Structure 1
């Protein structure tokens, strides 16, 4: 019985140590005068919803000096890949359309019917074809412009707040009746977004 008590105490101490070390590894941000949750989420490329959840915020109030935990963000390589997809898919589209294209990828990552990483969503295959035309035709390898990177930042901050779009298409070129049967969430520029 005595050994069991020592073992339980040791396990509890070890768990507490691991938790404390993990908490130290998280990024902590100190709120400055004029900060908003939206501004902080964009600055750190994290979802506003995640930022509020991790800090147990029921409202948008912030106080200078308040310390906020910043949720993990996506890697630089995933951000670059997503920006290249946005650039290839939405070249010539309005900024809102570029944000919406990036949001579709993030929504798929969060949806149980799709892969759970940005890279796997972008390179997903079905019936011998890639889900996104730029992967199929190779334009995904072209460098992204600054606006595409800004659109990715906006989509990351916006994550979880949109209408849940999982698909987009150009009605002038799309041939899929299945895709056209999906519920339209918004039309931006030459793209129809749907879920």
Structure 2
């Protein structure tokens, strides 16, 4: 009898912890007049596609008073690291270029060809032992990000999964590496070419 009580208690505790961790991973938002999936994505730092998927939506329509489930987002530390990379890599570039740099990192996280976290992607070493991103090598990634770079990260998160699939970017005036030159260019923004 004692063992049955212990098993029952352990099962209840496990179920309780499981329920707590599931509910902690996503929040809900009560829609207010003027809310859109895009605004919610920017507010919570999540993809519009994930918002719609989590809420079983195919249209962009949401209505005041309804509850929208919000998927888990990056941690504040991950967002800050990504913003510092964007700031260092795209300083002096147009805002769209900053969004595109953040998008490249997110695309790499989502790709099976690269590591699965923001930190691992940013600190990944390329063949030959050098870092994939020059600000890691020269230390400029340690400088604080400006507000525009932080906003660019939020926009890239909101737009996640809807771009052209860019996995690389480079400045052709500063790099003529054969690997980069062999990639399919997806867009050009400012001094950067983006490619997959």
- TM-score of the two chains, using structure 1 as the length reference: 0.90
Aligned to 2:4: none
- The 5 A counterparts of 1:21-170 are 21-25=20-24, 26-126=26-126, 127-170=128-171
The C-alpha deviation readout for 1:114-151, integer Å capped at 9, x for no partner, is 00000000000022100000001111111111111010
Which structure 2 segments of 5+ residues have no match?
Answer: 1-6
Aligned to 1:190: 191
Deviation at 1:178, TM superposition (A): 1.2
The C-alpha deviation readout for 1:5-47, integer Å capped at 9, x for no partner, is xx9xx97x88876665445332010110111101111110001
Three-state SS of the structure 1 residue aligned to 2:82 is helix
**Distance (Å, rounded) in 1 between the aligned partners of 2:22 and 2:87:** 37
The C-alpha deviation readout for 1:155-183, integer Å capped at 9, x for no partner, is 01010010000000001011211111111
Aligned to 1:179: 180
**Distance (Å, rounded) in 1 between the aligned partners of 2:76 and 2:14:** 31
The C-alpha deviation readout for 1:50-87, integer Å capped at 9, x for no partner, is 11111111111101111011000101111111011000
The C-alpha deviation readout for 1:81-117, integer Å capped at 9, x for no partner, is 1011000000000000000000000000000000000
**Distance (Å, rounded) in 2 between the aligned partners of 1:80 and 1:16:** 34
Aligned alpha-carbon RMSD (Å): 1.7
Count of residues in Structure 1 that have an aligned counterpart in Structure 2? 186
Structure 1 segments, 4+ long, off by >6 Å, are: 13-16
Three-state SS of the structure 2 residue aligned to 1:101 is helix
